[in-house]
Amino acid sequence: MKTIKTKYTLLASCLIIALSGCALEGDDGDAGATGAQGPQGPAGEDGQNAANGISLSLVARTVLNPEDPEGAAEIVQYDTARQQFLAINSAAATPTVEIIDAAELPATASDTPLTLDNLTSTALTLETDVNGKTLQGANSIAIHGDWLAVAMEADHGVRGEILFYELAQGTATYSGSIEAGFLPDMVTFTPDGTRVLVANEGEPNGDYSVDPEGSITVITLADSGLEDATVAQLDFQAFNGQQADLAALGMHFPNPSGRTINGNLIETTVAQDLEPEYITATNDRAYVTLQENNGLAVVDLSDNSIEIVGLGFKDWGSYQIDTMEDGTVSFGQYDNLKGVYMPDSIAHYQWNNATFLVTANEGDAREYFFDVADEAACTAAGGEDYDSDDGCLAYTDEAQARDLDYAAGSELETLAGDDPEDVNFTAFPLGRLTVTKALGDTDNNGEYETLYAYGSRSFTIWDQNGLPVFDSGDDFERITASVHGDAFNNNDDENEGDSRSSNKGPEPEALTVGQIGSRTYAFIGLERMGGIMVYDVTNPYNAQFVDYVINRDLTDGLSVDDGIGDLAPEGMVFVPAADSATGKPLLVVGNEVSGSVSIWQISSVD
């Protein structure tokens, strides 16, 4: 595998002062008297710290579908023209988009943000019977002008649809739909609103008997209406047979090819394996995360050609990481441990007229189950394992490091080893770490030389060539450990400190960028902890941490049912001051597990 590492170059500049000599023609005279002091000049304006110039305050919060909130507020958007928030409510019996009037926003933060529920919403019931298909759920929404686009999935092997609505104040009118690919997972507009772009994940079903190809749908809108729109379905078939070459660039292809599962011989192509997750776009290019594959697809929108970029791996030997769920903060450094970036959300911004990409590096394993009568039937069907709740495990690339084999006497045998059921973290600090078994055995002899953990517990800034120029390193874990102590690396449904250290840690997932004054900021949501990291990324080569905020009661033993705050930020949108109902910038967050939409107001500080 080719590991791509950030190279930092220190540029030193020198000021050369030229001195010229002159001839002396006599002795210097005595110094004259000091002149009178001039009048004092006007006071200058207060300066602002370039890296720490903003603060976030929670001003409003509402829970959608409070009786069963999980999944009720996964993705959020902001309607600039009508100053209203929109959020998907997939927890409702029929999927809806909740429309929330931003005019209700208070101007100041609440003293009781955990119980604040001061926004009301109107439900837009989505179409679920379209073109002879039964649509099963809403995955994403996007807004431009008067258009609302909704990505709706259908059953496995059936293409999904993009529903279009014409927005009004507090409501919307259905205008029609356009077919997308298999499992449309994210939809967005280009900045000029002329195109709608869809990431179609194309996941297989439980036993891989149906494994549709991942794809990207490009819808070019027409002024005359949806009926005149043109649609291009972009696939990855041109990359079939190139798996080895792409893997050499730092990509990841975990799949059960060559196995027979439930009577079907599995032969997975590259086009089937690639699963588009999230899109950010200029008017000319689209940048698409291929999360499970640790790559990016770059689409030239002038001709819809596709380039694939491998992201390589993060070297944890240079950073601190907690790999042990021992109830305490337990950092270590490990030279033979890599991180597979596997980004979820992606955004972009400009610096020196060049495009830079920002990713939240969540990580994601593949795990698919299918129904069988019992454990014996699972074994007969070629399953990997049986679980009475989930069924028969068809395939996963996930393992604990202690379950892998290493060369006798190697450092990994010492660090991961054959850890017994009785936890012995001191002897085996890497033993319980969740890793992929599809990487690390370079000579295919059954023994692993390197461990590859999911995600990088960080966010990264990439240049337009796919090279990293900044990574937040171990900031997220170190900062949350400093703030929360042993309660850090919590899970997203109950308070049990240090319960995620062996599995992706804080798990950065949601991300957006926004400009305030002359500065550009990145906001990164930590899915497990529920907090938000803020960085000044104006200069991508000199990004700096700004702030960390969290709206969660971390009292040990409490759970989501106790109303402990905002859990699992999944979607984010930045609202500039010029578009905001309060006159100040806003950060709108959709929290998947708590089913809450939270609005943070952003203020400049000295």
Extents of the domains making up the chain: 54-365+454-604, 369-439
For residue 362, the Cα-to-chain-centroid distance in whole angstroms is: 6
Q: 3-class DSSP state for residue 414?
A: helix
Q: How confident is the model at residue 126 (pLDDT cuts 50, 70, 90)?
A: very high
CB 1 within 8 A of CB 439: yes
At the top level of CATH, the class of 54-365+454-604 is mainly beta
Report pTM: 0.90
In whole angstroms, give the CA distance from residue 270 to residue 297: 13
pLDDT in tens, 31-77: 555 455 555 555 444 433 444 589 999 999 999 988 889 989 999 99
Query: How far is CA 401 from each of CA 26, 366, 419, 440, 456, rounded to the nearest angstrom?
Result: 85, 16, 9, 11, 17
Residue 63: how many other CB atoms lie within 10 Å: 19
CB 492 within 8 A of CB 505: no
Query: How far is CA 282 from each of CA 192, 216, 230, rounded to the nearest angstrom?
Result: 9, 15, 19
Retrieve residue 189's tokens. 């507009």
Q: Supply the pLDDT for residue 30.
A: 58
CB 504 within 8 A of CB 574: no
295-321 per-residue burial string, b: 16 or more CB within 10 A, e: under 16 = bbbbbebeeeebebbbbbbbbbeebeb
Angle (nearest 5°) at CA 574 between 567 and 136: 55
Q: What is the DSSP letter of 326?
A: S
Torsion of CA 555, 559, 563, 567, to 10 degrees: 90
pLDDT in tens, 395-420: 999 999 999 999 998 999 999 987 66
* Edge-to-edge strands, sheet with 569-575: 54-63, 596-604, 586-591, 569-575
pLDDT reading at 15 higher than 60? no
pLDDT reading at 28 higher than 60? no
In whole angstroms, give the CA distance from residue 142 to residue 160: 16
Of residues 25 and 606, the one with the higher pLDDT is 606
pLDDT in tens, 271-317: 999 999 999 999 999 999 999 999 999 999 999 999 999 999 999 99
In whole angstroms, give the CA distance from residue 178 to residue 568: 31
In whole angstroms, give the CA distance from residue 311 to residue 175: 40
CB 35 within 8 A of CB 501: no
Q: How confident is the model at residue 521 (pLDDT cuts 50, 70, 90)?
A: very high
In whole angstroms, give the CA distance from residue 321 to residue 317: 9
Q: What percent of the chain has pLDDT over 70?
A: 90
134-152 per-residue burial string, b: 16 or more CB within 10 A, e: under 16 = ebbebbbbbbbebbbbbbb
Of residues 382 and 24, the one with the higher pLDDT is 382
Retrieve residue 139's tokens. 């995955």
Q: How confident is the model at residue 186 (pLDDT cuts 50, 70, 90)?
A: very high
